[in-house]
Amino acid sequence: MKTAYINVNVATVWTKPDLPRELDYTATTSPTDIPAWLSGLTHQDRIWFIDENILQTQVLLGTQVLITEESGDWSHILIPDQYTPKNETGYPGWVPTRQLGYDEAYHHLYSSSPSVWVTAAQATLNTEQSKVSLSYLTRLPLLKHEGEKIYVKLPSGKEGWLSFDEVTIRQEPHQVELPHLKAPYPMLEKRMGADIVEAGKQFLDLPYLWSGMSSFGFDCSGFSHNMHKANGILIPRDASAQFKFGKEHGFEVSKEELQAGDLVYFANERGFVDHVGIYVGEGDFLHASNSNYVVKIQPLWEGKYLQKYCGAIRFW
């Protein structure tokens, strides 16, 4: 395996390299145009991603990945900070090789430098050549802070800057108590359940995207994963893995104990956990809904959610 870094704002991770269609072109280029890709997808296109298991996950600019195989213009990668039982090293899947990069200086700074986290819903990365929209929770190494400009190192080896009011700088590694998962970089400050809810509310009405892990579109577990990450807590990538991990480590809570920020889980008729949301309080939960196709707040104890409810986990 060799180390590389994501060199586009959002890399979409595919199940196999031959799956993208012509209409997916702007998601596989470098640079990408994720808004253009999403705006061109019909409802049926989005359903296809789900029904045929086309997409696996997404990964943001600057994130470290491990290349395990190369095939033509594609690379099979593992994503170490997206925990999954699919592979103990990290979440697996295929990305276009042109969306990867490696720079020795960036590699050194990745774990040793203070972290610059995008904490606005989206932020503008300014370089000499262009302006790029970055997702919420993009994380890059800090170079320097000059007035309202925060200069960061990029995995291409170049530099760019972000506006001070769109980011948070984390100077020291944040250590979470075991058995929480550990990130290979300084995390944001650990906060409480109500903060997880507030982080999520800023994305109300954001369109749902199967495999989505960015503020251009989340899926249900990508949403819960990222709202925890925004509050200093790293949890598994997928709903089923989150629920299993939480139960194994004693984080399960009863209906009567539910508090804002707890994760609520739902299972299909076979008992497989296939959906997750964030409990808001007063019997409501916040989730990236694959039936309504937006992030929304809904009653928990009604209809199919009451029928499918299978438990809750408190990671905070």
Instruction: Give the single-character DSSP code of 97.
Output: G
What residues are paired with 96 via a beta bridge? 74
Q: How far apart are CA 107 and CA 141, in angstroms?
A: 10
Q: Is 310 a catalytic residue?
A: no
Strands 64-71 and 74-79: antiparallel
Q: Considering the candidates 174, 180, 228, 275, report the single residue annotated as catalytic.
A: 275
Tell me if residue 287 is catalytic: yes
Rounded CA separation 215/238 (Å): 17
- What is the rounded CA–CA span in Å between residue 298 and residue 292? 11
For helices 220-229 and 239-248, what crossing angle results, to 10°? Answer: 50
**Residue 260 tokens, joined:** 């804002």
Compute the distance between CA of residue 140 and CA of residue 47 in angstroms, rounded to an integer: 33
Measured CA to CA in angstroms, residue 59 lies from 13, 96, 260, 279, 292 at distances of: 7, 13, 27, 26, 24
Burial of 147 (0-12, 13-18, 19+ CB in 10 A): exposed
Q: 122: which strand partners?
A: 135
Alpha-carbon span 148 to 74, nearest angstrom: 39
Active site residue 220: yes
Distance separating alpha carbons of residues 113 and 316, to the nearest angstrom: 26
* Catalytic hit among 76, 174, 180, 220: 220
Return the beta strands (E) in 8-128 as ranges.
10-14, 55-60, 64-71, 74-79, 91-96, 100-101, 115-118, 122-126
Which are the catalytic amino acids?
220, 275, 287
